[in-house]
Amino acid sequence: MAISRPSPPPARTAAAPSGAATTPAEPAADLRVDLGGVTLANPIVTASGTFGSGREINQFFDVNRLGAVVVKSITRHPRPGLPTPRMVETSGGMLNAIGLQNGGIDAWLAEDLPWLRQHGVPAIVSIAGNTVEDYQVLAQRLRGVEGILAVEANISCPNVEDRGTVFACRTEATREAIRVVTANLSVPVFAKLTPDVTDITAIAASAREAGATGVSLINTLLGMAIDAETGRPRLGGVTGGLSGPAIKPVAVRAIHQVHQALPDIPIIGMGGVSTVTDVVELIRAGATAVAVGTATFGNPMASLEVLEALPDWLAARGIDRVADLRGTVQLPG
Amino acid sequence: MSSQITPRGSDPQVFGREEGPLRAFCEVLGAKRVGSYWSLTFVAPAIAERARPGQFVTLAVDVGGATLRRPFSIASVSQQGPWAGTIEIVFSGVGQGTHWLAQRGKHDVLDLVGPLGRGFPLPNRQVPALLVGGGYGAAPMLYLARTLGARGHRVDVVLGARTAEQIYNTIEAKRAAASATFTTDDGSLGTQGIVTDVLDGVAEHGRSEVVYGCGPMPMLAGVARWAADRGLPSQVAVEEAMACGTGVCMTCVVPVRRKGQRRNVRACVEGPVLNGARVDWDAVRSPAMAQHELDEETG
Ligand SMILES: Cc1cc2nc3c(=O)[nH]c(=O)nc-3n(C[C@H](O)[C@H](O)[C@H](O)COP(=O)(O)OP(=O)(O)OC[C@H]3O[C@@H](n4cnc5c(N)ncnc54)[C@H](O)[C@@H]3O)c2cc1C
Ligand SMILES: Cc1cc2nc3c(=O)[nH]c(=O)nc-3n(C[C@H](O)[C@H](O)[C@H](O)COP(=O)(O)O)c2cc1C
Ligand code: FES
């Protein structure tokens, strides 16, 4: 019987951090990227909600090797989340309905931020709310706090003041939520957008008008699964967010459209990334940095493995700087 | 910061630190059928060394479209022999991942993460223990029975399932415990009924002072309530759908009451073993629980 190895062991994970055995003839590719005024050591980051605040995955490797850790979205108050079942595996991905369970901003500042700082992890803080005031209060709480590289405003959340319509589905709601965040912070702000809209470039433009440094693309797509036998929804929350390899083409499309429309703004790209070629695909579409999300569930070392594969991919093609790859899609005509 | 280590120095197939879970590429040492279950034993010295009864491992499966690992309780551990250390899982074929696993054989190499989660706390006094296993949940119970037995505890085991062939390893149950009692829904082995029907008699005879359980959620709810009614402490290994198994996704939560408040705790890191008296069983909404309610509505 053939040896089955769902994913190959990473080549150099076990090597000592410095003094690697090989002496490269040429200098290694420059992996640094500029994320709207802050420099990441490399373009590989984590997708919010798939990496906690870094502690758990740090059991497998030093998470400070990543370009940044984007932490699980934090809300103004602790949230218990939705009833289980909270996930359903689907072909090429999964649906989740977590309901933003988290301990709230106070607990995060007291417990998680000190850990991130102590371990030298570049942290991008994701915040989420259901009112404009929620975003404002969260931004104010983060103002001047040390150890925060950037803030990602997850505005793919229902706006209770607008009959539950997701902020990032409307240009005006996007502007209002992002304005109160950017007005209160001096670090770069990224607006995290849902792909479930007719024209994502219009939403990205309104985030930009409200002072966002850039955008994070894409959040999950809204989906649903029903048990054929019982007729019951398979998620406690009835509908949920689709993620994983199945959504990568949607991510590539959204990143491409926004980069074509707004070539000057940095983009954190995500959606179904699990290999180094996925990373390259999103960068060619226009991503500045690329987040690994659901792939971490299937393999806790997925983000490190794509990071370690990136220099070889670039070197084999004579590319010196990963930043040069950005937006290099070769369109016909 | 603690530095990254590879246990056993040069083994490039193992990743992790000096404690906590590891990711390891492990060779299958043996594959066999036990009743209606499958058993896979892996050469996994580093995982075996740190494993405790009640902990689990997750396995990557190579089936079309599946991106998530499959979680399985550790059913036995051996730290001796020419392979230095092995772990065993016992499972039933329920879907594409477990059917794929059932086709694995000797020398296949699989991608494992573990040991994960919090195992069964062991009593610090030598009290008699009552162990209740349902379906494949019997396998980790027998691992616990051997561990408690080696520490000098009296152990009484109750195993339940739908039919005789779903009672896991009756011979091993009798060997590992002072008494072994079986229940089946159809009466094809032991007492016809469910495990809670026989607990009073077994507990009285064994003078049980602590109760452990592993099996379907409705069974655990029954065992935990039975123990609470008699003032006995219970520790049960719960099962919830898990996307990551490592604590980062928040899919696997179980409602637990602590200090008068209900909290959703992650079964994969704060469990899977939880204090049975603290779980808010009425609020548990796992698929198994929903199915159980449906059966009761329609049945
Ligand atoms: C902590 C823990 C320990 C477990 N120990 C054992 C064991 O020792 N032996 C055993 O036979 N089974 C065990 N299970 C259940 C086992 O993980 C599932 O039967 C298995 O994942 C089903 O995979 P599948 O691809 O065959 O089924 P499918 O139904 O095709 O799986 C689809 C998805 O649902 C998930 N899923 C399906 N059933 C379950 C379930 N009962 N619990 C959690 N997730 C589920 C799968 O992981 C997968 O993501 C355990 C589950 C947990 C959470
Ligand atoms: C279980 C789960 C939880 C998530 N939680 C959040 C969250 O709290 N905030 C957020 O902005 N995005 C959240 N996301 C979306 C991811 O950050 C990401 O945008 C999406 O999953 C697409 O990437 P992927 O396919 O690589 O996972 C979550 C995704 C999953 C699967
Ligand atoms: S399975 Fe992801 S947190 Fe428990």
**Residue B121 in domain:** no
Same domain, B139 and B238: yes
Average the pLDDT over A31-50 and give the result: 97
Judge: A298–B60 Cβ closer than 8 Å, yes or no: yes
**Residue B12 in domain:** yes
Any bridge partners for residue B183, and if so which?
B160, B191
Taking a contact as any Cβ pair under 8 Å apart, which residues of chain A between 108 and 127 contact chain B? 119-120
pLDDT digit string, tens, across residues A244-279: 999 999 999 999 999 999 999 999 999 999 999 999
**Residue B123 in domain:** no
Q: Name the residue with the closest Cα to ligand 2, atom 23.
A: A271
Query: Domain containing B226: what range?
Result: 129-293
Domain limit, last residue, from B116, B141, B162 = B116
A245: contact with B, CB 8 A cutoff: yes
Same domain, B286 and B179: yes
Q: Name the residue with the closest Cα to ligand 1, atom 26.
A: B95
Interface test with B, best of A18, A50, A56 (most B CBs within 10 A): A56
Can you give the pLDDT at residue A267?
98
State CA B279 to chain mean position distance.
Answer: 17
B62 closest CB neighbour out of A6, A91, A300 = A6
Structure tokens, B116? 């994960």
Same domain, B100 and B168: no
**Residue B298 in domain:** no
Average the pLDDT over A183-209 and give the result: 97
Give the residue on B whose Cα is nearest the Cα of A100.
Answer: B250
- The answer on pLDDT for A22 being more than 60 is no
Taking a contact as any Cβ pair under 8 Å apart, which residues of chain B between 18 and 47 contact chain A? 20-21, 23, 25
Please name which of B91, B102, B71 lies closest in space to residue B240, comparing C-alpha atoms: B71
Task: Give the residue with greater pLDDT, B259 vs B177.
Answer: B177
A50 closest CB neighbour out of B13, B104, B249 = B249
Q: Which ligand is nearest to the CA of B38?
A: 1
B67: contact with A, CB 8 A cutoff: yes
Same domain, B152 and B200: yes
What is the band of B8 on the pLDDT scale with cuts at 50, 70, 90?
Answer: very low
Residue B87: CATH number of its domain: 2.40.30.10
Give the distance (Å) from ligand 2 centre to CA of residue B115: 26
Can you give the pLDDT at residue A15?
37
Judge: A101–B264 Cβ closer than 8 Å, yes or no: yes
Query: Is A58 within 8 Å of B13 (Cβ atoms)?
Result: no
pLDDT digit string, tens, across residues A270-300: 999 999 999 999 999 999 999 999 999 999 9
Which residues line the pocket of ligand 1, CB cutoff 6 A? A 89; B 56, 68, 70-73, 89-92, 94-98, 136, 139, 239-242, 272
Same domain, B137 and B278: yes
- The response to whether residue A124 sits with its C-beta less than 6 Å from ligand 2 reads no
Same domain, B66 and B145: no
> CA A325 to CA B182: how far, in whole Å?
65
Judge: A57–B241 Cβ closer than 8 Å, yes or no: no
Shortest distance between the Cα of B63 and any Cα of chain A, in A, equals 9
Judge: A59–B243 Cβ closer than 8 Å, yes or no: no
Structure tokens, B61? 């499966």
| 3-state helix/strand/coil string of A112-162 | HHHHHHHCCCCEEEEEECCCHHHHHHHHHHHCCCCCEEEEEEECCCEEHHH
Can you give the pLDDT at residue B82?
67
Can you give the pLDDT at residue A138?
98
A230: contact with B, CB 8 A cutoff: yes
**Residue B299 in domain:** no
- The response to whether residue A293 sits with its C-beta less than 6 Å from ligand 2 reads yes
- What domain count does chain B have? 2
Shortest distance between the Cα of B212 and any Cα of chain A, in A, equals 24
Give the rounded percent of residues in chain B with a pLDDT score beyond 90: 85
**Residue B94 in domain:** yes
Query: Is B24 within 8 Å of B104 (Cβ atoms)?
Result: no
Please state, as a whole number, how many other Cβ atoms lie within 10 Å of the Cβ of residue A167: 32
B25 closest CB neighbour out of A2, A9, A56 = A9
Any bridge partners for residue A190, and if so which?
A152, A214
**Residue B177 in domain:** yes
- The answer on pLDDT for A163 being more than 90 is no
**CA dihedral sign, ordered B191, B278, B56, B287:** positive
Judge: B285–A84 Cβ closer than 8 Å, yes or no: yes
Same domain, B45 and B149: no
**Residue B122 in domain:** no
A57 closest CB neighbour out of B108, B109, B246 = B246
Tell me, what DSSP letter sits at residue A245? G
H-helix or E-strand spanning residue A285: helix A276-285
Residue B230: CATH number of its domain: 3.40.50.80
Give the rounded percent of residues in chain B with a pLDDT score beyond 70: 90
- The answer on pLDDT for A304 being more than 60 is yes
Atom of ligand 1 nearest to the CA of B271: 1
| 3-state helix/strand/coil string of chain B | CCCCECCCCCCCCEEECCCCCEEEEEEEEEEEEECCEEEEEEECHHHHHHCCCCCEEEECCCCCCCCCCEEEECCEEECCCCCCCEEEEEECCCCHHHHHHHCCCCCCEEEEEEEECECCCCCCCCCCEEEEEEHHHHHHHHHHHHHHHHCCCCEEEEEEECCHHHCCCHHHHHHHCCEEEEEECCCCCCEECCHHHCHHHHHHHHCCCEEEEECCHHHHHHHHHHHHHCCCCEEEECCCCCCCCCCCCCCCEEEEEECCEEEEEECCCCCEEEECCCECHHHCCCHHHHHHHHHHHHC
Same domain, B137 and B227: yes
Q: Tell me phi and psi for residue B26, to 5 degrees.
A: -120, 140
- The response to whether residue B244 sits with its C-beta less than 6 Å from ligand 3 reads yes
Can you give the pLDDT at residue A5?
37
Same domain, B287 and B158: yes
The residue behind tokens 């690329």 is A290
Same domain, B195 and B216: yes
What is the band of B258 on the pLDDT scale with cuts at 50, 70, 90?
Answer: confident
Shortest distance between the Cα of B204 and any Cα of chain A, in A, equals 37
Q: Which of B58, B87, B91 to mutate to test the pocket of ligand 1 (most atoms within 8 A of CB)?
A: B91
pLDDT digit string, tens, across residues B28-85: 999 999 999 999 999 999 999 999 999 999 999 999 889 999 999 999 999 876 667 9
- The answer on pLDDT for B148 being more than 50 is yes
Same domain, B71 and B103: yes
Can you give the pLDDT at residue B295?
52
Please name which of B31, B53, B76, B35 lies closest in space to residue B169, comparing C-alpha atoms: B35
Same domain, B158 and B272: yes
Can you give the pLDDT at residue B11?
61
Give the residue on B whose Cα is nearest the Cα of A13.
Answer: B15
Domain limit, last residue, from B88, B116, B144 = B116
What is the band of B3 on the pLDDT scale with cuts at 50, 70, 90?
Answer: very low
Domain limit, last residue, from B64, B86, B116 = B116
Give catalytic residues of A, as residue numbers.
Answer: 157
What is the band of A223 on the pLDDT scale with cuts at 50, 70, 90?
Answer: very high
Q: Tell me phi and psi for residue A267, to 5 degrees.
A: -130, 130
Task: Give the residue with greater pLDDT, A125 vs B258.
Answer: A125
Average the pLDDT over B187-191 and give the result: 95
Average pLDDT, chain A: 92
B177: contact with A, CB 8 A cutoff: no
> CA B78 to CA B169: how far, in whole Å?
18
Can you give the pLDDT at residue A25?
55
Tell me if ipTM is over 0.85.
yes
B68 closest CB neighbour out of A52, A59, A89 = A89
Tell me, what DSSP letter sits at residue A108? I
Taking a contact as any Cβ pair under 8 Å apart, which residues of chain B between 224 and 253 contact chain A? 240-241, 243-253
What is the band of B235 on the pLDDT scale with cuts at 50, 70, 90?
Answer: very high
Shortest distance between the Cα of B239 and any Cα of chain A, in A, equals 11
- The answer on pLDDT for A23 being more than 70 is no
Chain A hits for B67, Cβ within 8 Å: 89, 92-94, 244-245, 274, 294-295, 297-298
Judge: B68–A298 Cβ closer than 8 Å, yes or no: yes
Interface test with B, best of A71, A84, A226, A230 (most B CBs within 10 A): A84
- The answer on pLDDT for A329 being more than 90 is yes
Q: Name the residue with the closest Cα to ligand 1, atom 37.
A: B241
